[in-house]
Amino acid sequence: MNVPDDRQYTLEHEWIDSQGRVGITDYAQDALGDVVFVELPEIGQTLKRGQSFGAVESVKSVSDLYSPMNGVVAAVNQDLAEHPDWVNQDPYGSGWIVQLSERSGGDELLSADLYRLKTGGDQ
């Protein structure tokens, strides 16, 4: 399981990087299977930590997306409309979902090492 050290994680398997970009982890995309659709929030929407802001639909199921921090949706990855499979192929790069500005409330986020420990990941 790929868990980059340069971001923080939630137990719901979302990540956030230093730029405020949010996506789902390698663990989550693997569990979901082939992603076929990503529901994106509106730019400007204010989110609270733990609030559902969209969903990822796969051939197996639909899973809600949860905000890892308080913040405002500054950008959404519009390319996912045409390429939802990027969530599977590159979950920490081109498969990012939203970018948050005005971030706060990230005290409960996990480091990569702690996320690996909690999920049984070994990388």
User: What pLDDT score does 37 carry?
Assistant: 97
The CATH code of the domain at 7-111 is: 2.40.50.100
Residues forming a β-bridge with 21 = 99
Sign of CA dihedral 56, 20, 108, 27: positive
Q: Could you tell me what percent of the chain has a pLDDT over 70?
A: 98
Residues in the chain, total: 123
Query: Measured between alpha carbons, how far is 88 from 71 in angstroms, rounded to an integer?
Result: 25
Over residues 59-98, the pLDDT tens digits come to: 989 999 999 999 999 999 999 999 999 999 999 999 999 9
